[in-house]
């Protein structure tokens, strides 16, 4: 279960019993280590899909469970990659390149996690990864990252439901 501050430090994926061992990352024919970026990308996409399925089912415990596994396997960087994919799912395809200024009415009165999601989505649509990384760091420092990621998953699920109902937004 997620707890405040529990994501401060991720364990090494191999030490935690997750991920690939050195044996299956090695191309024995050439004795070279293969790039692991594809593996990370595949994990992030699959993890985001799993989180979205759980969020669409309204299962917050499953969402937090998947994020816990993501962090155990790959640390906060892996959680960031999954969050970036959730932002992509929320925004959808066909977004023209910005700059974008997003309007979130009454955002100043919203909770920490809702303000964080609005800023993270804004960073995503503006292709501003440094801001996304900074938001992650601040949420970790404030002990609020688990709540923010749960809100992001729920907001993404709500947006997908809304879009599927034909509203077009």
In tens, the pLDDT along 25-77 reads 333 333 333 333 334 456 888 888 999 989 989 999 999 999 999 999 888 99
pLDDT of residue 92: 84
Q: How far is CA 6 from CA 27, 31, 68, 140, 150, in A?
A: 36, 38, 9, 9, 14
- Rounded distance between C-alpha atoms, residue 64 and residue 70, angstroms: 10
pLDDT of residue 94: 76
> Which positions ≥6 away from 67 have C-beta within 8 Å?
2, 51, 79, 82, 146, 149, 150
**∠ CA 62-134-101, rounded to 5°:** 95
Reported as type and span, the H/E element at residue 32 is strand 32-33
In tens, the pLDDT along 70-114 reads 999 888 999 999 999 999 999 888 777 766 666 677 778 889 999
Has this prediction a pTM greater than 0.75?
no
Write down the domain spans for the chain: 22-164
């Amino acid at each position: 279960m997620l707890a405040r501050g529990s994501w401060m430090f991720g364990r090494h994926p191999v030490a935690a019993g997750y991920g690939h061992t050195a044996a299956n990352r090695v191309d024995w024919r050439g004795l070279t280590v293969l790039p692991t970026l594809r593996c990370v990308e595949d994990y992030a996409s699959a993890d985001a899909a799993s989180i979205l399925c759980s969020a669409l089912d309204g299962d917050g415990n499953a969402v937090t469970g998947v994020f816990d596994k993501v962090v155990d396997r790959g640390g906060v960087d892996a959680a960031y990659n999954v969050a970036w994919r959730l932002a992509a799912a929320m925004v959808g395809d066909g977004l023209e390149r910005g700059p974008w200024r997003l309007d979130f009415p009454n955002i100043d009165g919203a909770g920490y996690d809702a303000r964080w999601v609005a800023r993270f989505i804004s960073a995503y649509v503006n292709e501003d990864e440094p801001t996304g990384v900074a938001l992650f760091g601040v949420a970790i420092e404030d002990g609020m990252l688990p709540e923010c990621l749960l809100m992001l998953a729920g907001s993404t699920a709500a947006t997908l439901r809304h879009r599927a109902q034909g509203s077009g937004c």
